[in-house]
Amino acid sequence: MLATLRAGTEVPVEGIAETLSALSTPSRLRILLHLADGPSSVGDLAAAVGMEQSAVSHQLRVLRQLGFVVGTRQGKQISYRLFDRHVARLLTEAINHVQHLRLGVSDEPEAVR
């Protein structure tokens, strides 16, 4: 798959770097992992991840700007959810990668296409 993308197409490395950089903050990861289970308000997220509401709001603003989450107004509250399945897949692959590293397991090069 990566070889196909590289052939004839410029890989958007700056965008990829920005995306991966956003995932390098533990508080953002906690928020995203919680949202992977379903939509949530700022207050519910703050309680679930053990952060102040203002800090959660700040992280959600960053995640929204980078296309990780989307907010939907419901009365006076905004309910946040993951933008799409790509975000959930990024999280799943990151978790799998870390688990493989811990176990010393590696995919065979032929398996990655």
| DSSP string for 3-61 | HHHHTTS---HHHHHHHHHHTT-HHHHHHHHHHTTS-EEHHHHHHHHT--HHHHHHHHH
- Alpha-carbon distance 53 to 43, whole Å? 6
CATH number, domain at 82? 1.10.10.10
Beta bridge partners of 69: 82
pLDDT, position 106: 83
Residue 63: inside a domain, yes or no?
Answer: yes
Residue 7: inside a domain, yes or no?
Answer: no
Residue 63 has pLDDT above 60, yes or no: yes
Could you give the maximum distance between any two Cα atoms of the chain, in Å?
Answer: 52
Range of the domain at 77: 17-108
The order of strands in the sheet holding 77-82 is: 40-41, 77-82, 69-74
The confidence band for 107, taking pLDDT boundaries of 50, 70 and 90, is confident
Cα 35 from chain centroid? Answer: 9
Residue 3: inside a domain, yes or no?
Answer: no
Residue 32: inside a domain, yes or no?
Answer: yes
pLDDT, position 1: 56
Residue 16 has pLDDT above 50, yes or no: yes
pLDDT digits (tens, 9 = 90+) for 35-59: 999 999 999 999 999 999 999 999 9
Residue 12: inside a domain, yes or no?
Answer: no
Total of domains in the chain: 1
pLDDT, position 9: 75
Residue 40: inside a domain, yes or no?
Answer: yes
pLDDT, position 11: 80
Residue 50: inside a domain, yes or no?
Answer: yes
Q: Is residue 59 within 8 Å of residue 31, measured between CB atoms? A: yes
Average pLDDT along the chain: 89
Residue 2 has pLDDT above 70, yes or no: no
- Alpha-carbon distance 5 to 1, whole Å? 6
pLDDT digits (tens, 9 = 90+) for 71-106: 999 899 999 999 999 999 999 999 998 998 888 888
